[in-house]
């Protein structure tokens, strides 16, 4: 991937570029509000930091349920209706904060929780749409959209402080406007497209093991037969029973995001306790944003050499995160934080595009469901991490947080190794067309 913005988008079709830019603009809008939640609750509503943490917890809890819900509704509602309505409702709720945030504390908390839910409903649908629409280039597109979204987050975060100095209400309104714009984009972009019926032949091959092998021939013959070319509907329990597809990968991602709460619940208070300015902490995230764009040649080289398979990329991501926390444990000063952030960013660059890319290829038509499940499970780490590591910091300081994060990172590596082993076993047992045509998966 070339480093110049022009070069980065040169090799994509106009349709792809429009999608990438729209996604980046939406990420910019989203980043206008979430970094300021704690500041808004504490300074504008005059509530405690514990109350601010509770708001964030409720928003993340809504996000967990939203991921599950979005994956389950993909085929029941249709991708166009799901995306447009989820984003439109999110937009209305974001704009309503101009009134609800000040009218009632519990009204604000509930609104933020529902925003977390509706915003997350769209995530598995967007990822699945990318995987189905551009199946021949999905790995590449998942990566470039991930980079574009992070550019949007960097821009939004930079603008959020400026806008908040003018008015917090302005950040609410602009966030709502970008969500509405993204909803309108999908309304026009998907207009005239066939939705789930447009799934290609590869996606029609479900990655969920057919449970009929344990049913008698008589029972099987008595079941209503689907029309030619149409897959039989899998029950939710049958999908969940196919744990080899998603479970250990999702647990690995959950452990990663749990351990990565070290930055907000360990590094940030440590920097404050050492008398360093908050700008020193924000500089670490600036480094994160720069590296996500500038370090693409490193991860590209890894994908060509030591991490050719997606399962290898997942394992390497856990190794990088673990190495970052080891550095912070050994060198608990700002130089160690910089090096740790660099290593953690490389881990993030490997895991974030790999999860949807794997599920798009492995789960076939059922990818939306599994993306929702994987997103919901991994979001649990983001939800409980700040509290768990915050308590650890109060008891043991930064060293205790770093040690806990190291242990959790090791659990993520173990989970990814088990996931990789299961995929290899499936390849040997089934000789699946999916694997024979896509060696990079397992």
Question: Is residue 431 within 8 Å of 330, Cβ to Cβ?
Answer: no
- Residues 248 and 350 occupy one common structural domain: yes
- Residues 195 and 256 occupy one common structural domain: no
CATH number for position 117: 1.20.1250.20
Which residues neighbour 265 within 8 Å (Cβ) at sequence distance 6 or greater?
A: 385, 386, 388, 389, 390, 392, 393, 401
Question: Is residue 328 within 8 Å of 262, Cβ to Cβ?
Answer: yes
Q: Which residue range is the domain that position 109 belongs to?
A: 9-204
Residue 3: how many other CB atoms lie within 10 Å: 11
Q: Is residue 422 part of a domain?
A: yes
- Residues 294 and 147 occupy one common structural domain: no
Q: Quote the pLDDT of residue 302.
A: 94
Question: Is residue 367 within 8 Å of 246, Cβ to Cβ?
Answer: no
pTM: 0.78
Residue-level pLDDT, tens digit, the chain, 442 residues: 444 444 555 677 777 787 788 888 877 777 777 667 767 887 788 877 677 778 888 888 888 888 888 888 877 888 788 888 988 999 999 999 989 888 889 999 999 999 989 888 888 888 888 887 887 887 788 888 888 888 887 777 777 767 777 778 888 888 888 889 888 888 887 775 654 444 444 444 444 444 323 323 333 334 444 443 334 467 778 888 888 999 999 999 999 999 998 988 888 888 888 888 767 877 888 888 889 889 999 999 999 999 989 999 999 999 999 999 999 999 999 999 999 999 999 999 999 889 988 988 888 778 888 888 898 899 899 888 888 888 888 888 899 999 999 999 999 999 999 999 998 887 766 654 433 333 456 5
- The owner of tokens 């949007």 is 152
Q: Is residue 227 part of a domain?
A: no
- Residues 26 and 118 occupy one common structural domain: yes
Last residue of a domain, one of 204, 232, 253: 204
Total structural domains within the chain: 2
Q: Is residue 2 part of a domain?
A: no
Give the residue from 108, 94, 91, 117 showing the smallest Cα distance to 44.
108
Question: Is residue 271 within 8 Å of 285, Cβ to Cβ?
Answer: no
Q: SS3 of 210, please?
A: coil
Question: Is residue 261 within 8 Å of 409, Cβ to Cβ?
Answer: no
Q: Quote the pLDDT of residue 216.
A: 34
Q: Is residue 154 part of a domain?
A: yes
């Amino acid at each position: 991937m070339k480093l110049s913005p022009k070069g980065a988008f040169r090799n994509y079709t106009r349709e792809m570029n429009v999608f990438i830019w729209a996604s980046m603009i939406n990420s910019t809008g989203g980043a206008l509000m979430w970094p300021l939640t704690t500041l808004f609750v504490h300074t504008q509503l005059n509530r405690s930091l514990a109350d601010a943490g509770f708001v964030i917890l409720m928003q993340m809890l809504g996000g967990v349920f939203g991921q599950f819900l979005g994956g389950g509704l993909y085929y029941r509602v249709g991708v166009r209706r799901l995306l447009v309505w989820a984003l439109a409702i999110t937009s209305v709720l974001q704009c309503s904060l101009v009134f609800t945030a000040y009218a009632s504390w519990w009204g604000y908390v509930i609104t933020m929780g529902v925003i977390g839910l509706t915003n997350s409903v769209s995530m598995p649908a967007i990822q699945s749409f990318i995987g189905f629409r551009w199946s021949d280039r999905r790995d590449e597109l998942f990566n470039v959209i991930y980079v574009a979204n992070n550019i949007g987050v960097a821009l939004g975060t930079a603008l959020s402080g400026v806008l908040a100095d003018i008015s917090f209400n302005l950040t609410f309104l602009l966030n709502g406007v970008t969500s509405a714009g993204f909803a309108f984009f999908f309304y026009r972009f998907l207009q005239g497209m066939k939705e789930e019926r447009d799934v290609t032949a590869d996606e029609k091959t479900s990655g969920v093991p057919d449970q009929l092998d344990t049913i008698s021939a008589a029972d099987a013959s008595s079941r209503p037969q689907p029309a030619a070319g149409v897959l039989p509907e899998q029950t939710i329990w049958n999908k969940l029973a196919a744990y080899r597809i998603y479970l250990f990968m999702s647990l690995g991602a959950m452990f990663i995001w749990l351990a990565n709460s070290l930055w907000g619940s360990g590094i940030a208070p440590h920097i404050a306790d050492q008398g360093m300015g908050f700008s020193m902490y924000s500089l670490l995230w600036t480094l994160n944003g720069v590296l996500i764009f500038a370090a693409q040649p490193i991860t590209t080289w890894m994908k060509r050499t030591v991490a050719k398979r997606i399962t290898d990329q997942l394992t390497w991501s856990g190794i990088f995160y673990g190495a970052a926390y080891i550095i912070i444990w050994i060198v608990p000063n700002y130089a160690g934080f910089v090096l740790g952030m660099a290593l953690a960013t490389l881990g993030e660059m490997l895991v974030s595009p790999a999860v949807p890319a794997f599920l798009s290829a492995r789960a076939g038509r059922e990818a939306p469901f599994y993306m929702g499940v994987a997103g919901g499970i991994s979001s649990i780490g983001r939800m409980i991490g700040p509290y768990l590591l915050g308590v650890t910091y109060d008891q043991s300081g930064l060293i205790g947080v770093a040690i806990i994060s190291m242990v959790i990172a090791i659990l993520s590596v173990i989970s990814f190794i088990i996931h990789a082993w299961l995929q290899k076993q499936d390849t040997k047992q089934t000789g699946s067309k999916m694997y024979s045509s896509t060696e990079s998966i397992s």
